[in-house]
Structure 1
Amino acid sequence: MKLNIVPARTGITWVKLGCKTFFQQPLAMSGLFFMFMALLSIATLVPFIGAALALALLPAATLGLMAATQEATKGKFPMPSILISAFRAGKQRVRAMMVLGALYAAGFLALMAVSTLVDGGQFARLYLVGGKITEDMVLQGNFQGAMWVTMALYLPLSLLFWHAPALVHWHGVTPVKSLFFSFMACYKNWAALAVYGLVWAGVFVMAMVLVTLVAALLGNPTFAALAIFPVALLMMAMFFTSIYFTFRDSFTDTDVPADQQAA
């Protein structure tokens, strides 16, 4: 396995490829993303361990979307069963993916525990258990502090796990090593990932502005309220489609079969 260092402008290419691939198979990619969301939502309903279970499933579910993107790049229609690709790769890799999921859940719950030191657990309870969010709650300094602490701690956690599911599934890397390689790949390609994130942020903002402008032209403010949520979901589906390309261009392995390498 070889780490590739890519130029900063590659971040723009990743966004373009994500959008292009999504529109090549819009029904499949959007449907799979909604199934992905539904799977995690159902997992949260399990008594007592729902939140932790959903977190543990996230790496495997994300890998499923990456595998769907890989199929779409080949001109194939990804079937719903591809979402569970991580659990159809043999006992050893299934076990490794389960370990990776457990590590992700533990890491996320740990950073939430740290946030409780700031506001006594108000933000953590709202995020993990749910509840009604009020204007007074959002304006509280402690609540905002807990939110920012969580965001700051989540950045290194996300870098550790950004490429890890794909490394475990496609390259057979052990869970702990996959975290190291993922972090190093993100560190070495930080410029491209920064551009990637900024471009996606701009795309999201432009989409929301466009919805607002259409609502204004129609003279129907209700349209914006109704359209923003589904538009945001479609944008998220495109974003998840693009994640595969950040991995594909960051690593190469001449030992894997040709059909598993970058298309």
Structure 2
Amino acid sequence: MHDELPRRVSARAGFEWVTGAFRLFFKNPLVLAVAAGISMGALLILQFIPVVGPGLSEILTPLIVAGFMRAFRTIDEGDDPELPQLLAGFRENALPLAIVGSIYLAILIAILFLMKQLGVDYEALLNNLQHRARPEDIAAQFEGKLPLLLLASALVIPAIAATWYAPALILFGNAQPLQAMGLSLKACLRNWAALLINGFGMIPVLLLALIPLFGMMIVIPVMLGTAYLGYQAMFASKN
């Protein structure tokens, strides 16, 4: 890859990725929405597998994301994607993509372990949420622990940044897992303003998630579409 990559983009590009992602989505909404529904269903089923299920879903997520990247590239080139293309991550570079997911999972486990040692019990919180505990009971669990929650966020955000563009870098650029994660993190740091604007632009989109069943089938493709367009702006060849 060229030494100047990732490119620096303007802050307003972050909002343009949101509008551009909608344009990509509405060029073939059926395939993308169905793919999102199948992906959500598969990851949800994995959650019910004892012990290994939740971790396996994290490992496989980059492979699923890579499939969406392939579909967006097809749409971007003026063609119609087909559902089998959404399996691109399982057919191409599956091992490097799974390694990215494994590294991300290891980071999450390390953060959760650290937080538990410091007195934050996420398992108890999830148990309360599942049993619809009173809001005041949930709030009491985290009384005086705001600094620890901020620390957890500060640790998780770089991990997310390191994986945000990694699937596209592996799929389109044949980058190795650590190289892809390093470049992804560098891109996010170099273009933090664009990503911040992108995040604000996604807030109205996330409201669509409130629509029962179908909302997330729009939100997920649009969100991943912004990642694809960000990759194109920062890494793709201009030729």
Normalized against structure 1, the TM-score is what?
A: 0.78
Q: Deviations over 1:110-129 (max 9, x none)?
A: 222223234442x246559x
**Contact kept in structure 1, 2:68 and 2:221, CA below 8 Å:** no
CA distance in 1, matches of 2:212, 2:90: 34
* Aligned ranges 1:121-132 → 2 under 5 Å: 121=121, 123-124=122-123, 131-132=130-131
Distance 1:160 1:127 in 2: 26
Higher mean C-alpha displacement, 171-180 vs 137-146: 137-146
Equivalent residues of 2:14, 2:197 under 8 A apart = yes
Tell me by how many angstroms 1:149 deviates.
Answer: 4.1
Question: Over aligned residue pairs, what C-alpha RMSD do you find?
Answer: 2.6
Change in Cα spacing, 1:43 to 1:203, as seen in structure 2 (3 Å) is closer
1:98 aligns to 2:98 (yes or no)? yes
Q: Secondary structure at the match of 2:59?
A: helix
For the residue of structure 2 that corresponds to 1:140, the secondary structure is helix
One-letter amino acid of the structure 1 residue matched with residue 111 of structure 2: L
Q: Normalization by structure 2: what TM-score?
A: 0.85
Residue matched to 1:48: 51
**Structure 1 residues 38, 247: CA separation in 2 closer, same or farther (over 3 Å shift)?**
same
**Which of 223, 246, 249 in structure 1 is aligned with 2:230?**
246
Task: Indicate the larger mover: 29-38 or 79-88.
Answer: 79-88
2:207 aligned with 1:198: no
Quote the Cα distance in structure 2 between the aligned partners of 1:58 and 1:184: 21
The CA distance in 2 between the partners of 1:106 and 1:52, in whole Å, is: 9
**Pairwise CA distance, 1:49:** 0.5
Deviation at 1:237, TM superposition (A): 3.0
Q: Number of paired residues?
A: 232
Distance 2:197 2:222 in 1: 16
Gaps of 5+ in 2: none
Deviation at 1:11, TM superposition (A): 0.8
Partner of 1:117: 117
Task: State, as a whole percentage, how many aligned pairs show the same letter.
Answer: 23
